[in-house]
């Protein structure tokens, strides 16, 4: 039987891993949204949440490493699958059309690599912007005797800028596209049959992608359209 490493490199193994890493990335997004929404839960809650994350110490590094590994492994596989296309079909069709019916060939499935690369580029900017403040030290303050990072102010300030607010909304729309196929595709990669369940999973994919991303999108757009002091954000 093939060694585990060889199996991981096979076409079947690669597809499993794209699926598994994709599932974990989606779980991460759910957690990330939960954390983000605390920005609406009073002045200190979000900063306190950030503070708790900081306090995880070495465990935080482990989590960050696992996430980086998931993102990079997923991206490397996804891009290599897309690049293999050219090798497997050096001469493309002059005319090409999907037959529809049971096919899942859609704008979303055809643009997985493009939406993926957009997510990757965004990720670098996103971390640089909020974790490293584009090189600016994060302000800190003391509340009830606890030293807190002033991340909430940084976020609000960022999203009063239209480039940030609409840039984020755009990327989040790209993630809707990625997940509207990715969610179903991950189940299929992990062994789901193509039948009635599969149809429900595709419907769930649309709901999941849209609800999750509207949740994320609400933050920059709300802040932008209320100029940073809407009633949900300023009390």
Partner 1 sequence: MSKDFTVHLKYWRQNGPDAKGFFEERTLNTVNEHMSFLEMLDVLNEELQLEGKEPVEFDYDCREGICGCCNLVINGQAHGPKGGTPTCQVHMYNYKDGDTIVIEPPRAAAFPVIKDLVVDRSAFDRIIEAGGYVSVKTGSAEEANTHPVEKHKSDTAFDYATCIGCGACVAACPNASASLFTGAKIAHLGLMPQGEVERSKRVVAMVDQMEAEGFGDCSNFGECEAVCPQEISISAIAEMRKDYVKAVFS
Which residues of this chain interact with ligand HEM, rule CB under 6 A?
Answer: 15, 18-19, 22, 25-26, 29, 71, 74-75, 78-79, 81-82, 112-113, 116-117, 119-120, 178, 182-183, 185-186, 189
Among the listed ranges 33-41, 51-59, 79-87, 154-162, the one in contact with partner 1 (CB under 8 A) is: 79-87
Nearer to partner 1, 31 or 102 (CB): 102
Which of residues 42, 52, 62, 105 is near partner 1 by CB under 8 A? 105
Q: Which helix (H) or strand (E) is 9 found in, with range?
A: helix 4-9
Q: Decide if 168 contacts 217 (C-beta within 8 A).
A: yes
CB of 128 to ligand HEM, least distance (A): 16
Overall residue count recorded for the chain in this entry: 235
- Residue 192 near partner 1 by CB under 8 A: yes
Find the distance separating the first CA and the last CA of the chain, reported in whole Å: 63
DSSP 215-227: HHHHHHHHHHHTT
Question: Helix (H, G, I), strand (E, B), or coil: what is residue 140?
Answer: strand
Q: Which residues, 6 or more positions from 65, have their beta carbon under 8 angstroms from its beta carbon?
A: none
Say how far apart CA 181 and CA 177 lie, in whole Å.
Answer: 7
Alpha carbons within 13 angstroms on the beta-carbon side of residue 67 total 16
- Residue 79 near partner 1 by CB under 8 A: no
CB of 76 to ligand HEM, least distance (A): 8
Which of residues 39, 75, 112, 171 is near partner 1 by CB under 8 A? 112
- Scanning 190-233, the segments in alpha helix (DSSP H) are 196-225
Among the listed ranges 10-18, 148-156, 160-168, 225-233, the one in contact with partner 1 (CB under 8 A) is: 10-18
221 CB burial (10 A radius; 0-12, 13-18, 19+)? middle
- Residue 1 near partner 1 by CB under 8 A: yes
Which of residues 52, 59, 65, 85 is near partner 1 by CB under 8 A? 85
For tokens 């609400």, name the residue: 218
CB of 114 to ligand HEM, least distance (A): 8
Say how far apart CA 82 and CA 113 lie, in whole Å.
Answer: 7
Nearer to ligand HEM, 29 or 148 (CB): 29
- Residue 194 near partner 1 by CB under 8 A: yes
Under the rule (CB under 8 A), what is the footprint of partner 1?
1-2, 4, 7, 10-16, 81, 84-85, 87-105, 109-110, 112, 184-185, 188-195
């Amino acid at each position: 039987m093939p060694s585990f490493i060889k199996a991981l490199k096979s076409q079947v193994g690669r597809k499993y891993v794209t699926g598994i890493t994709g599932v974990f990335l989606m779980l991460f997004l759910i957690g990330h949204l939960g954390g983000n929404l605390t920005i609406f839960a009073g002045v200190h809650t979000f900063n306190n949440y950030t503070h708790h994350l900081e306090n995880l110490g070495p465990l935080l590094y482990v989590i960050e490493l696992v996430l980086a590994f998931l993102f990079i492994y997923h991206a490397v596989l996804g891009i290599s699958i897309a690049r293999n296309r050219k090798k497997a079909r050096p001469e493309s069709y002059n005319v090409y059309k999907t037959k529809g019916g049971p096919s899942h060939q859609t704008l979303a499935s055809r643009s997985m690599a493009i939406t993926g690369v957009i997510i990757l580029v965004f990720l670098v900017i996103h971390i640089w912007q909020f974790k490293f403040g584009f090189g600016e030290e994060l302000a800190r303050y003391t509340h009830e005797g606890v030293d807190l990072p002033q991340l909430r102010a940084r976020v609000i300030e960022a999203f009063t800028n239209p480039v940030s607010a609409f840039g984020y909304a755009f990327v989040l729309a790209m993630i809707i596209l990625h997940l509207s196929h990715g969610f179903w595709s991950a189940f299929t990669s992990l062994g789901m049959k193509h039948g009635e369940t599969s149809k429900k999973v595709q419907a769930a994919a649309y709901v999941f992608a849209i609800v999750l991303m509207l949740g994320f999108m609400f933050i920059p757009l709300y802040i932008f359209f209320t100029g940073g002091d809407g009633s949900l954000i300023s009390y």
